Structure 1
């Protein structure tokens, strides 16, 4: 008895007894069906949690990357002022001076004057609404998702000064490709005695790009800055300054320096202002999904209790004998704790493997689901991006593992304590 009391916790003989119980056949009072159910349940719950976290992380990363890679991090524009002619305007006449001052702000990587306008594009009787960005060729070359590393591209972006660059969705809607000509039509044309006549110009398509976002590819086109100034009657002016910064996630910290650079007439609109509500909705959804899936992990872990209670009941005679020969309550508790904890550890391990494999081969899985549904499983016109991304992060896996193991260990304690407190006399009374 004294030797038993001085035995170190989780000694070898405790592990041997626990493994013997786990290996025993059902008719010998070994692992019950409930234990197998809890093992499978924890595996699936942990896998679902990891897959969900990976998909949500990947979706957010892809969404933000496509925004930052094809749009201004900060748009600088002018407040309304009265011109010398007595009319109100927001045009920026000294855009070169503004751009130079903005480039001097620490953290700014590019400042490019833009002319913007909405037009109708037409080719062979097919029309599409397009938003035209007038930009200098050297500035276009620095846009990551358009010129540097687009998802797909056709044509030669170095020929941009000779024609027009359009998104792949615009090209598809109009049925054109590189080398074709399209007309762009603006209702804000020349004013005559008979009213305002539309302005129409033809341009050769020299470059087609896919930025990875459905809405951008379907509506965007780029014209050389001077051509856009002429077409939109913006001679000597720009509509806004497109600013790219070194750390887009910290763009709010640059608001005051940017405003100070351009003076009291300047105003700004950041990418967070444009997409912040959607990103906040994603964060809330992430938290809700984590809570829901955590409940699933808890339900799966609770099955350990059922299986362990059945194991304790079947091993009542063994518990009485072990207590009689000198095992302490602590040793009995640890034996059955090991039995339950092993189920949690194995379920968690299998869940991590299954979740990681699913997230790694998400494209193949989605293709299979798409095939089963006959297509349309992922609609980019609704979700904005073209594919379901998944990004495995160590912190997400650690959260899933910690949650699963923590719940498994906690729920295991209760039936293990019941076994430890079993009276050996009562356990052997009818044996």
Structure 2
């Protein structure tokens, strides 16, 4: 839409009305602010939702892998070495890690907490959590040493620190003439770690695979083989050739199947929030519509004079559409800036609100992650901008048409 010099001058004049037209300017300013707030809200919410999904995916998949091979009916894998070799030979599979994972209980000075025991080969153990160590030395966690690493949440719940003892209780111990005797083994806490997922940090006790096999009386059996691939979004296609090769021993489950309800709920919430906050932008577009209608009514005499001076209907359309689109574009730019600033200081904002209200807005035990995440997606931001521009454009059509339809004869007859 190309404007002539006169049209640009008139549009600029209508965007910055005179002293007697302060109310119209106020309504236009409110419209601009509404667009800015709507765009900022959408950018912030979508970025936080994307960040939440990405962080949750990285934490969960980072600790649990992209897929696992498990035995049938809870039975372990006896030929796990062959299964691991078959998996590593599959194109697209980057690693195959045998591991043991068993829910148990831990006790310290009479306090009892549920735990999730994880046994891994030492090399795999160090690769998995080496970047998450908060205290202690992971190198001390070796087979037969009696040392373990525990999550920071569990350490806090049991009042443990590096060097303390933790007793792990296995109720499925050895059979005796009087029944099954629980097996209780004490370990030394050599390190604490924090992966950033509250449920993991509150439950995990990690030890060498040999020690876990001894505790659980598994012999040379593991419970699963964890797989990682080059592309988690293509994990199903990558592992399709592997499933027939291990079908006699176990079944392959990928991260989508293991966490299907969680990620589906996140996607539903993401779409719902987009639709709800999109209504805010729709309301802002109605504000632009109402401000333009008021402007057209206030400028009816000016429009009639311009028409008698030779301005065409198309020129009137362009002038008022430019006024409305300018409000929308300025609102979008302000919204992008406002949203970016909010995202940059998002955790500080949460902390300040928590300090003022005394309420814990981001409880890790409920939100899973320890901090408010953010991951702006250029595609989402583009969709938000385009949607706002389209709604703004549609809002300008009726007022611009009314301005272009003004009959100068009828208006000036009574002036």
TM range (shorter): over 0.9
Q: Which runs of 5+ in 1 are unaligned?
A: 1-7, 81-88
Tell me, yes or no, if structure 1 residue 281 matches structure 2 residue 281: no
Question: 1:323-352 CA deviation, whole Å, 9 max, x = no partner?
Answer: 111111111111111111111111111111
Q: Deviations over 1:215-271 (max 9, x none)?
A: 111111112111111111111222221222221221111332222332433212221
Matching of residue 13 in structure 1 with residue 6 in structure 2: yes
Task: Choose the corresponding residue for 1:222, options 200, 203, 206.
Answer: 206
Q: Do 1:30 and 1:311's aligned partners in 2 also have CA atoms closer than 8 Å? A: no
Residue 114 of structure 1: aligned partner: 99
Give me the whole-angstrom Cα distance separating, in 2, the residues matched to 1:394 and 1:12.
35
Q: 1:301 aligns with which of 266, 270, 285?
A: 285
The separation in 2 between residues aligned to 1:338 and 1:54, in whole angstroms, is 31
The offset of 1:28, in angstroms, is 5.0
Matched, 1:55 2:40: no
Q: Hey, what does 1:5 align to over in structure 2?
A: none
Worse overlay, 52-61 or 90-99: 90-99
| Residue aligning to 1:154 | 135
Would you say the 8 A contact 2:77–2:249 is kept in 1? no
Q: Distance in 2 between matches of 1:289 and 1:375?
A: 23
| Cα distance in 2, alignment partners of residues 219 and 29 from structure 1 | 62
Among candidates 121, 140, 151, match of residue 125 of structure 2? 140
Equivalent position of 2:219 in the other structure: 235
CA contact (8 A) 2:148 2:187 kept: yes
My pick for the range that moved more, 405-414 or 261-270, is 261-270
2: CA distance, partners of 1:124 / 1:256 = 49
> 1:200 and 1:30, CA in 2 relative to 1: closer, same or farther beyond 3 A?
closer
In structure 2, what is the Cα distance between the partners aligned to 1:62 and 1:14? 51
Deviation per CA, 1:351-410: give whole Å up to 9, x if none. Answer: 111111111211111111111221411111112111111112222221111111111111
Aligned-residue offset at 1:9 = 4.2
Q: Per the alignment, do residues 119 and 406 of structure 1 end up closer, same or farther by CA in structure 2, a change over 3 Å counting?
A: same
Matched, 1:64 2:57: yes
Q: Which residue of 2 aligns with 1:412?
A: 396
Identify which of 342, 359, 377 aligns with 2:326: 342
Q: Which residue of 2 aligns with 1:93?
A: 78
- Report the CA distance between 1:26 and its aligned residue: 4.6
Q: Give runs of aligned pairs for residues 162-241 of structure 1, distance below 5 A.
A: 162=145, 163-241=147-225
User: Distance in 2 between the 1:374 and 1:271 partners?
Assistant: 38
Superposition map of 1:372-383 within 5 A:
372-383=356-367
SS in 2 for 1:197: strand
Offset, 1:79: 2.4
Whole-angstrom distance in 2 between the partners of 1:28 and 1:276: 57
Q: Secondary structure at the match of 2:6?
A: helix
Preserved contact between residue 95 and residue 229 of structure 2 (Cα < 8 Å): yes
- How far, CA to CA, are the matches of 1:338 and 1:256 in structure 2? 56
Report the aligned-residue RMSD. 1.7
TM-score by length of 1: 0.91
Match of 1:76 among 31, 44, 69: 69
What are the equivalent positions in structure 2 for 1:244-393 lying under 5 Å apart?
A: 244-393=228-377
Name the SS for the 1:49 alignment partner. Answer: helix
Relative to structure 1, the CA distance from residue 97 to residue 29 in structure 2 (aligned partners, 3 Å threshold; closer, same or farther) is closer
Which whole-Å CA distance do the structure 2 matches of 1:169 and 1:226 have between them? 25
Residue 116 of structure 1, CA deviation: 2.7
| Kept after mapping to 2: 8 A contact 1:115/1:228 | yes
Is 1:23 the counterpart of 2:23 in the alignment? no
